[in-house]
Structure 1
Amino acid sequence: MTAKPLLSALLPLVSDLSRELPEQERYRRLLQALRTLLPCDATALLRLEGEWLVPLAVDGLSTDTLGRRFKVSEHPRFAILLATPGPTRFDSDTALPDPYDGLVEGLHEDLHVHDCLGCPLFVDERPWGLLTLDALDPQRFDSLDLDALEAFASMAAATVTVAERMAHLAMRAEDEHQRAELYRQASGQQPREMIGQSPALQHLRDETRLVGSSDLTVLITGETGVGKELVAQAIHQASPRARQPLISLNCAALPDTLVESELFGHVRGAFTGATADRRGKFELANGGTLFLDEVGELSLSVQAKLLRVLQSGQLQRLGSDREHHVDVRLIAATNRDLAEEVREGRYRADFYHRLSVYPLLVPPLRERGADMLLLSGFFLEQNRSRMGLDSLRLSSDAQEALLAYPWPGNVRELEHLIGRASLRALGQQGRRAAILTLTAADLDLRAPLGGNPAAIAHESDLPLELDLRQATDAFQRRLVQGSLERNPHNRAAAARELGLDRANLSRLARRLGL
């Protein structure tokens, strides 16, 4: 290849470096120039993020390629390209699987024989990502000068460097709470649909739309696992603040010493480890919505400080006397009876009334009838996709078992049950069938733990050879294990269910070997 075609391809990219272009447009022009320089059927630009390659732009590949994340260890071609300093061309008859099999536009059969090459990109002498080229003609790159691709890769590295620096400057120009919302969206934490058609759920939807249009503080109550965070997301999306951030904090996940810092922020030197100023959740949510989950876990002292912010909109970061004004809509959630907590002196009455301006009760799953099967369908499809199955469905006896079960763990319990049963059924199948059907045996729905201890630890459930201490430990182990399974990642909720202090639950679980 002569220098003239290479120069013709690179000059527009050099010109683009000094122009303010959207990132996607910059990358689109980059791949367009690459296909002009090295004619092929498909190209892609992928960025290395840890152990994953993330497509930033594609040309000639299906659009859904941009939504995929390629784990390098699962794709040997990508691993070889990243491990090689310069361009690499693969033999047309190589046995290595192609990551783009089935993704080339206009090609519906497998990529059995074709021409494929790629080149790593380096930014600041560190691997940044890959450029890949694929041609359906197995001899397309026979006369290719790989030096031309390497020169183009240098310009591509300059392009991505400029794009990233511009993006970084734009990021710094934005307010931090807007960035937080962009990060939340980029991580895929988009509000999920409330699935179901029952009257109870329809009433909840109506209430959600009604209160969403206002700016009232909402207290969402309901049992563990009913989907209180999902309701909070729906309220935010129905509100005039929907384009502003929804910031969440699980109050049970942090000790009291950190809750204040998370809520109000801190200044440098406020406590050991505070090496820089940091905004709290209230400031990040300014203009939008703050969702406080497990709000029943807040200490009385934190309740008092929160009350002041709710009344005046003024807050102070830890270690600072400076006042910050925030405009935040508050949504809180709890599975506790806060009115009872107030009567028992464990919760401030004034704070409770500030929270419960508009109370919303999320119905338990056992009161939603056939919604059970709709939700099961949602989780079945998730697991079908995750496991690479053609079809995943429920047998009639499995449906009957689901409808008959009381669901103490609600929707979260159903989600985990479907995941477990799918994996169990796949393991027992021994081979990948076109259709995998879950039976009642796969679901293994037993009477839930909790409620009447006599029903849980019926004498026939325990081996006769156990002494009193062993039987007591076995009984406690079943109770604790069942509560922890119904309240995953939430020791505080499990402790409340068992009537224990959270620290005592942790000690008991360790003693029982859980």
Structure 2
Amino acid sequence: MTPSQLLGALAQVVDTLTRDEPDEAGYTRLLESVQALFPCDATALLRLDGDTLRPLAVTGLSHDTLGRRFRLQDHPRLLMLLQRRGPTRLAADCQLPDPYDGLVEGRTGQLEVHDCMGCPLYVDDRPWGLLTLDALDPRAFGAVDLDLLEAFGRLASTVVVAGERISSLAQRAQREQQLARTLAEAPATLRPRDLIGHSPPMRHLQAEIDTVAATDLTVLISGETGVGKELVAQAIHVRSYRAEQPLITLNCAALPDNLVESELFGHVRGAFTGAVRERCGKFELADGGTLLLDEIGELPMPVQAKLLRVLQSGQLQRLGSDREHHVDVRVLAATNRDLAAEVRAGRFRADLYHRLSAYPLTVPPLRARGRDVLLLAGGFLEENRVRLGLRGLRLAVDAQHSLLNQPWPGNVRELEHLIGRAALRALAEQPQRPRILTLHTHHLDLLLTSGTSPAALPAPINPAIEQAATRIGLRQAVDELQSRLIRAALARHAGNWATAARELRVDRANLRRLAGRLGLA
């Protein structure tokens, strides 16, 4: 490298410090400077979160790398680089598995990285993260000046400190503009779980979470099944001033009607058959913290009235007791139903709905998140790589295109399960256990949105059902079909709910709840 090239690359790093741009843009410019200085095929900037390294920016690596999380106990190569104070070049014949094997872009035949260097980054004399450089040529870094890499590492540390401070100031100014009052930030050790995504809908959701987390407003989190509503609730709690207090979750759809009240408010001994001792409910367990009521739309109407009272006054009574308890609980509610429509249909209390939706949040479906699909897939690939004991697990280009072209009716949960199944299918095809496993489209078993073969199309709909749905609407048609099936099953089994539930393959409590909603019980 000529002196002019060296000065140009260093000038680019310094220029990064003066730019008011998002962190990821600045980090990418930093890595571009690395590639200008050193003969590498791929670079990555990773931040240390506890015992896990999280990629902030990559060059030369597949896009899904940003969604992966590298636990140090699973990646001894990264651990070795991080433990050494200065830059380190690992031997080309090092037998420790490389986390980037199979992830270098544009390489289909040569999958394993052969030359690797790394430099830990320190902020306030504490390890902040890691800068890694990788090359497919085992001799690429033979003549690299490690002192130059160490100097660059110091500059990189300055860049990340400046970027974090600028980002922190911008976020604080935004909160002050949006909120009438600013509450104390949660401790750094209580960072929320990752809500992975860089798409505009996810950026908007993150901004809304930051806004509402600093208040004590009740939040109604809505969205399709599998989008990650519980994860959003966790993020709100951890970013709130209640972060050091418990987050308690109750799935309202998983309990029989006669136990919901006890689970929420507790009971005293003898309150009902089987109540052999006094027990506090979820509200008391969450006192001082946050209570997430998942599937709130399934809550029975009688319990809705009692829940409203607690939300308004903070006072509750255990089942069977006259004594009142005061609780200080922030309530978050989640649902995949249209609660406004449920209110109009008389199946949900209007006053409770308005109380719960003081701040409504809608989690975008996966099909609206664009290339976030690949980030999420990267995280699931890494989890399955560890679970299956593989050195590398990657998506081929055709598989990436297929994932980007799916409608994802099951959202993130569907993607998670699909990646797990695909990894097992691909592994079963191998005559011997591979070091690096590549997933292709045929492993994913997807119903593509275009070019679908007739054999893969869904079965035709019964004409009578289709006509009914067209005439009276889908929801009413489904309700009528469910009513007929439930009545027929009860008639066949002389009104025995347990036997009817087994025949219909549903939980008995859920069957009774559904029958009640349909006016059958």
TM-score under structure 1 normalisation?
Answer: 0.53
1:265-414 aligned at under 5 Å gives the runs 265-414=266-415
Q: Secondary structure of the equivalent of 2:325? A: strand
1:199-214 aligned at under 5 Å gives the runs 199-214=200-215
Structure 2 unmatched ranges of 5 or more? 1-70, 75-79, 85-93, 97-189, 450-455, 467-476, 490-497, 507-521
Q: 1:388 to 1:509 in 2, by over 3 A?
A: farther
* Per-residue CA distance 1:229-277 (angstroms, 9 max, x = gap): 0000000011110111100000000011111111001111111111111
> C-alpha displacement at 1:430, in angstroms?
3.1
1:496-507 aligned at under 5 Å gives the runs 500=482, 504=486
Residue of structure 1 in register with 2:231 after alignment: 230
- AA at the equivalent of 2:254: A
Residue of structure 2 in register with 1:424 after alignment: 425
Stretches (4+) displaced over 3 A = 495-514
> Which structure has more RCO (C-alpha within 8 Å, separation ≥ 6)?
2
Q: 1:496 to 1:356 in 2, by over 3 A?
A: farther
Structure 1 unmatched ranges of 5 or more? 1-62, 68-101, 111-188, 449-453, 460-467, 476-494
Q: Percent identity?
A: 65
- AA at the equivalent of 1:414: L
Q: Secondary structure of the equivalent of 1:276? A: coil
Distance 1:330 1:351 in 2: 12
Q: Secondary structure of the equivalent of 1:456? A: coil
Q: Secondary structure of the equivalent of 2:267? A: coil
Q: 1:509 to 1:416 in 2, by over 3 A?
A: farther
Distance 2:310 2:505 in 1: 43
Q: 1:371 to 1:498 in 2, by over 3 A?
A: farther
Q: 1:220 to 1:499 in 2, by over 3 A?
A: farther
Q: Secondary structure of the equivalent of 1:360? A: strand
Residue of structure 1 in register with 2:458 after alignment: 456
Report if aligned partners of 2:405, 2:448 keep a CA contact under 8 Å in 1: no
- How much is the aligned-residue C-alpha RMSD, in angstroms? 3.7
Distance 2:214 2:369 in 1: 25
| 1:442 paired to 2:443 | yes
Report if aligned partners of 2:289, 2:329 keep a CA contact under 8 Å in 1: yes
Q: 1:503 to 1:322 in 2, by over 3 A?
A: farther
Report if aligned partners of 2:191, 2:238 keep a CA contact under 8 Å in 1: no
Q: Secondary structure of the equivalent of 1:247? A: strand
Q: 1:496 to 1:422 in 2, by over 3 A?
A: farther
Report if aligned partners of 2:227, 2:366 keep a CA contact under 8 Å in 1: yes
Q: Secondary structure of the equivalent of 2:353? A: helix
How many pairs are equivalent?
300
Distance 2:254 2:228 in 1: 17
Distance 1:285 1:440 in 2: 45
Distance 1:335 1:325 in 2: 30
Distance 1:222 1:391 in 2: 34
Residue of structure 2 in register with 1:22 after alignment: none
Distance 2:277 2:199 in 1: 50
TM-score under structure 2 normalisation?
Answer: 0.53
Q: 1:312 to 1:503 in 2, by over 3 A?
A: farther
Residue of structure 2 in register with 1:13 after alignment: none
1:173-192 aligned at under 5 Å gives the runs 191-192=192-193
Residue of structure 2 in register with 1:74 after alignment: none
> C-alpha displacement at 1:447, in angstroms?
5.7
Distance 1:342 1:353 in 2: 10
Distance 1:287 1:310 in 2: 14
1:27-66 aligned at under 5 Å gives the runs none
Report if aligned partners of 2:288, 2:328 keep a CA contact under 8 Å in 1: yes
- AA at the equivalent of 1:299: P
Q: 1:270 to 1:430 in 2, by over 3 A?
A: farther
* Per-residue CA distance 1:315-359 (angstroms, 9 max, x = gap): 000111100000000000001001011111111100100000000
Q: Secondary structure of the equivalent of 2:277? A: coil
Q: 1:430 to 1:501 in 2, by over 3 A?
A: farther
Distance 1:216 1:372 in 2: 31
Distance 1:251 1:501 in 2: 22
Distance 1:437 1:401 in 2: 14
Report if aligned partners of 2:287, 2:329 keep a CA contact under 8 Å in 1: yes
Q: Secondary structure of the equivalent of 2:279? A: coil
> C-alpha displacement at 1:500, in angstroms?
3.8
- AA at the equivalent of 1:373: L
Q: 1:403 to 1:501 in 2, by over 3 A?
A: farther
Q: 1:456 to 1:344 in 2, by over 3 A?
A: same
> C-alpha displacement at 1:381, in angstroms?
0.2
Distance 1:512 1:283 in 2: 37
